[in-house]
Amino acid sequence: MIYIYCDGASRGNPGPASIGVVAYRNSESTEVVFTISEKIGKETNNVAEWTALLFALQKCKELSEKDIKIHLDSELVVRQMQGIYKTKNPELQKIKQQVDSLKKDFSSIEFNHVPREKNKMADKLANQALDQK
């Protein structure tokens, strides 16, 4: 099992945007498997949140991880992935289609909403990317 925390950041909406992802081998968040901290151009915060999720899944597939639990502080993305809310924005629909396609590569996948305080490392990674010149 791998525990993933994702966050997207945008300074302005849209504005300069980035993603932050941290993956742990255990639920105690002690063994880091990988991190992602990247600028993604000028985007909305929702695009940044979705892109963080997409990049996390792509990395897990690359590492042949099969069982994952994903934690996001974006309740909207979690509810959309759980099928509770529809994804209406065409740009977000494109990213969601990619995410949905990747889901089949995993034996088990779970999406959880966490408060912002429990997603500090992913937030820090996203902001570090934005702060880089």
* Per-residue pLDDT at 77: 96
* Per-residue pLDDT at 109: 97
The C-alpha angle 29, 46, 54, rounded to 5 degrees, equals: 55
Domain of residue 72 covers 2-131
* Per-residue pLDDT at 89: 93
For 107-124, b/e burial (b = at least 16 CB within 10 A) is: eebebebbeeeebebbbe
Coil vs helix vs strand at 133: coil
**Look-up: residue for tokens 């966050």?**
7
pLDDT tens-digit profile of 55-100?
Answer: 999 999 999 999 999 999 999 999 999 999 999 999 999 999 999 9
For the domain that residue 39 is a member of, what is the CATH number? Answer: 3.30.420.10
* Per-residue pLDDT at 28: 86
Residue 114 has pLDDT above 80, yes or no: yes
pLDDT tens-digit profile of 6-52?
Answer: 999 999 989 999 999 999 999 888 899 999 999 999 999 999 999 99
Half-sphere exposure of 100 (CA within 13 A, CB side): 12
CA distance 84 to 31: 32
Give the alpha-carbon dihedral of 84, 41, 25, 58, to 10 degrees. 70
* Per-residue pLDDT at 17: 97
Residue 126 has pLDDT above 90, yes or no: yes
* Per-residue pLDDT at 29: 82
Q: In what order do the strands lie in the sheet with 67-72?
A: 32-43, 15-24, 2-10, 67-72, 108-113
Give the count of domains, the chain.
1
Coil vs helix vs strand at 78: helix
